[in-house]
């Protein structure tokens, strides 16, 4: 039997996508890969031939108990190689409120935390020649299903409405989309997000805007990043999914930087927030307590003030000019 590798990764969709270079390298090295992950990870790695066995993490295991669980799990599986990516980024590159570094000055936090997540993940794995570009795997049926949302002859823009936290919501989405549509009759927008994002969507106008929030799976959203002409999204799983492909992408980065997120992405046009608090390099659990709030939009300051809608609008027009096929 092949050498066994036990890989552990909990966390959000983007966290799971970030370990895909390590999974690729493990298969190249001939390992039989066992992955312990969350429900979100189960979605990310569905139909992934780099994973031989997948274990869905039991959410009832408390944080106080999880380290003992890992010890027991490792003993039972007895792998030849054990890689636990938990806290490879959390509390290591992005600061948790309980850490002293959370309250360092902004310049001190930048010096400590302005590192690329894929570089850090590669180093954490301790695998030689581990890549830095993410990759996802989908079935032919999934690809066929996704293509129906693409408007032929249009410049299709996929817009992610939300991230893992409400601090990542961009409050000027409607304004920017409206301004783009005034200038470009060849543009078709597709908006995606979770069920709550339906509140951010206006009535469907499928010739120019297709709203899919809450109506398609996260895998469909991820796969759309392959077929559209541009992806616009905050620092979330959708942006990391777009990093798997050469599709132009504009990350709306509030608490992070291009160095953190998109350094290794192809055709990256991401924008960093420009305001006093950004980038903060902090884990945000409750933005109403942790973040300065914009009075008018009630959004996190980095998104409302730091990413001026005119900057985003101009960046979209730049990408359209450089990549439009018509």
The CATH number of the domain where 216 resides is what? 3.40.50.2000
DSSP state of 195: G
63, 171: one domain: no
pLDDT band at 215 (very low <50, low <70, confident <90, very high): confident
Q: Are 145 and 215 in contact, with CB atoms under 8 Å apart? A: no
In a domain, residue 245? The reply is yes
pLDDT band at 302 (very low <50, low <70, confident <90, very high): very high
pLDDT band at 2 (very low <50, low <70, confident <90, very high): confident
In a domain, residue 134? The reply is no
Q: Which residues pair with 56 in a beta bridge?
A: 37
Reply yes or no on whether the pLDDT at 325 is more than 70: no
From 56, 86, 116, the end of a domain falls on 86
> What's the start-to-end Cα distance of the chain, in Å?
53
177, 308: one domain: yes
User: pLDDT over 90 for what percent of the chain?
Assistant: 85
Q: For the segment 9-27, what is each residue's pLDDT rounded down to a tens digit?
A: 998 999 999 999 999 999 9
User: Tokens 């996802």 — which residue?
Assistant: 136
Residue whose C-alpha is closest to residue 180's, from 168, 188, 169, 170: 188
**Half-sphere exposure of residue 295: CA atoms within 13 angstroms, side-chain side:** 0
In a domain, residue 278? The reply is yes
Reply yes or no on whether the pLDDT at 32 is more than 80: yes
In a domain, residue 270? The reply is yes
Q: How many domains does the chain have?
A: 2
In a domain, residue 113? The reply is no
pLDDT for the residue numbered 25: 98
214, 313: one domain: yes
Reply yes or no on whether the pLDDT at 198 is more than 60: no
In a domain, residue 125? The reply is no
In a domain, residue 185? The reply is yes
In a domain, residue 107? The reply is no
User: What are the backbone dihedrals phi and psi of residue 94, each rounded to the nearest 5 degrees, phi first?
Assistant: -115, 125
Distance CA 241, CA 243 (A): 5
Q: Is 289 exposed, middle or buried (0-12, 13-18, 19+ CB in 10 A)?
A: exposed
Reply yes or no on whether the pLDDT at 184 is more than 80: yes
Calculate the average pLDDT of the chain. 93
In Å, how far are 75, 98, 109, 272 from 32, measured between CA atoms? 17, 37, 39, 40
Domain residues for the domain of 79 are 1-86
Q: Which residues pair with 209 in a beta bridge?
A: 189, 205
- pTM summary value: 0.94
Assign 173 to helix, strand or coil. helix
């Amino acid at each position: 039997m092949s050498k066994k590798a036990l890989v552990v990764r909990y966390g959000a969709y983007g966290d799971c996508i970030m370990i895909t270079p390590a999974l690729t390298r493990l298969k190249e090295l001939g390992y039989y890969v066992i992955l312990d992950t969350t429900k979100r990870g189960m979605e990310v790695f569905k139909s992934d031939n780099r994973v031989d066995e997948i274990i869905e993490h039991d959410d009832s295991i408390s944080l106080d108990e999880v380290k003992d669980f890992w010890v027991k799990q490792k003993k039972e599986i007895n792998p030849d190689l054990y890689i636990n990516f938990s806290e490879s980024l959390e509390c290591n590159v992005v600061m948790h409120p309980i850490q002293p570094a959370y309250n360092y000055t902004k310049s001190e936090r930048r010096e400590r935390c302005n590192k690329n997540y894929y570089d850090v993940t590669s180093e954490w794995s301790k695998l030689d020649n581990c890549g830095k570009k993410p990759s996802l795997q989908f079935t032919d049926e999934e690809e066929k299903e996704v293509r129906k949302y693409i408007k032929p002859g249009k410049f299709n823009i996929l817009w992610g409405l939300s991230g893992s936290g409400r601090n990542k919501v961009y409050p000027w989405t409607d304004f920017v989309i409206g301004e783009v549509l005034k200038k470009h009759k060849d543009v078709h927008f597709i908006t995606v997000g979770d069920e709550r994002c339906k509140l951010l969507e206006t009535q469907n106008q499928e010739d120019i805007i297709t709203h899919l929030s809450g109506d398609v799976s996260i895998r469909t959203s991820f796969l759309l990043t392959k077929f559209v002409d541009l992806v616009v999204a905050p620092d979330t799983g959708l942006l990391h999914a777009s990093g798997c492909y050469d599709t132009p992408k504009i990350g709306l980065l509030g608490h992070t930087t291009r160095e953190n997120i998109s350094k290794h992405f192809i055709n990256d046009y991401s924008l960093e927030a420009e305001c006093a608090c950004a980038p903060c390099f902090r884990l945000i659990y409750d933005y109403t307590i942790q973040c300065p709030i914009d009075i008018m939009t009630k959004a996190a300051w980095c998104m409302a003030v730091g990413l001026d809608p005119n900057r985003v609008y101009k960046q979209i027009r730049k990408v359209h000019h450089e990549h439009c096929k018509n």
